[in-house]
Amino acid sequence: MQEEKPKTRRLLVVAGLAWLFDAMDVGMLSFIIAALKPEWHLSEVQMGWIGSVSSIGMAVGAILFGILADRYGRKDILIITLLFFSIGTGLSALTTGYVMFLVLRFIIGMGLGGELPVASTLVSENVPVERRGRTVVLLESFWAGGWLVAALISYFVIPTWGWRVALLGSALTAFYALYLRYGLHESQAYVQQTLGQRPSTKTALADLWKPAYFRSTLMLWIVWFMVVFSYYGMFLWLPSVLVLKGYSLINSFGYTLIMTLAQLPGYFVAAWLVERLGRKKILSFFLLGTAVSALGFGNATGLPAILSFGMLLSFFNLGAWGTLYAYSPEQYPLVIRGTGTGIAAGIGRIGGILGPIMVGSLIAKGVSFTYIFGIFCAAIIIAVIAIIFLGKETMGQQLDKVVHTK
């Protein structure tokens, strides 16, 4: 057991840093969208499309790289996705036009979308059952660290040196991808069990809808769609919403930074509870907290209420994300785990496409934030209903017959 813990911690940090870099990019994008509006004279609809094109890329990347992870291994695909993200980010810093920026955001999105489910699958398969859920939730906590770094960079760098410098700094993560090639090991379960018996892509896709996995697949698709739809609709627009509520661009960055700080305790509380009360209860609880917070944020008028509900929104929503990433790989056997998790995430990214576009379109029509955030509240309630009636509890269940050294 004592030898296993350092291995688990090292895996968590190595994979978590890749997760942090991805979150840093997504987090900075929300600030960059706000900065690009006056520089490129963008409409609200065009602003929404920047986030949505990223989600289109994430949908394609999650499905494609999830399938490839079952065919060629988790580690190599993880490295490839990080390179997609880093190189695309560097090139986007050099672009001067809206259309090319959208094309590069699609490529970056492919890397982001593929990296997240592949990394969570890799970690889930390499951690003993009694620490599996907690470790994957803690892996997700690196997302909050990435958002925090993004908020700091956006607050101190973008107003002074511009958004291009911020993106160039983010592109340096390509060097970390090279390090991963030597510092990360393939999933134990994948090496032991899939050699010579990897199913075809067609078979893997068909297996997702077999009676044994039908309810899990349907549940994951609903939950991922609703969670990603609401997350990207709310958080990519957060700095811009604050500007539209009357606060300056600099102040909106600072207030968003304060709200971002609440993400970390959300992850840690979820990580502590997920191995005590189970995945279903904790995921449902944190999503219900998100729904209530979204409703409160949409109705908030004064700064204290905006910050309070914004912090609660960050706390509950990111705790739910961590639990969802722990829950998803546990729904399938090893040979279709990457495919099942990747496609569920890909379906979710379709929601991420629609969310930002919907917000931009409704704002352009003069629809109130109360109505907009009420839509997100309803979407999250639907996800909770799906978990309660279709989900199964997976806490303490051995995923595969793999012997972990203890």
- Give DSSP secondary structure letters for 287-325: HHHHHHHHHHHHH--SHHHHHHHHHHHHHHHHHHHHHHH
Residue 290 has what pLDDT?
96
Residue 198 has what pLDDT?
65
Residue 404 has what pLDDT?
37
Per residue in 89-126, pLDDT (tens digit) is: 889 888 888 999 999 999 998 998 888 888 888 888 88
Per residue in 346-405, pLDDT (tens digit) is: 899 888 888 888 888 898 888 888 899 999 999 999 999 999 999 999 887 776 654 333
Domain parsing of the chain, residue ranges: 4-181+198-390
Note the pTM of the prediction, 2 decimals.
0.80
DSSP letter for each residue of 2-56:
TTHHHHHHHHHHHHHHHHHHHHHHHHHHHHHHHHHHHHHT--HHHHHHHHHHHHH
| Torsion angle, alpha carbons of 30, 34, 35, 41, to 10 | 130
Locate 340 and state its tokens: 């099942």
Q: What is the pLDDT along the chain (406 residues), one digit of tens a residue?
A: 444 566 778 788 878 887 788 788 877 887 788 788 888 888 877 887 887 788 789 889 988 998 888 888 888 888 888 888 888 888 988 888 899 999 999 999 899 888 888 888 888 888 877 888 888 888 878 887 887 788 788 778 888 888 888 888 877 776 776 676 666 677 666 666 655 566 677 887 888 999 999 999 999 999 999 999 998 888 777 777 777 777 776 677 777 778 878 888 988 899 889 988 999 999 999 999 999 999 998 888 888 888 899 899 999 998 999 899 889 989 998 888 888 998 998 899 888 888 888 888 898 888 888 899 999 999 999 999 999 999 999 887 776 654 333 3
Residue 384 has what pLDDT?
97
Indicate the CATH number of 4-181+198-390 among 1.20.1250.20, 3.20.20.70, 2.30.38.10, 3.90.420.10: 1.20.1250.20
Residue 174 has what pLDDT?
67
Residue 2 has what pLDDT?
45
Rounded to an integer, what distance in angstroms lies between the CA atom of residue 63 and that of residue 58?
Answer: 8
Residue 360 has what pLDDT?
82
Q: Are 144 and 267 in contact (CB under 8 A)?
A: yes
Residue 60 has what pLDDT?
92
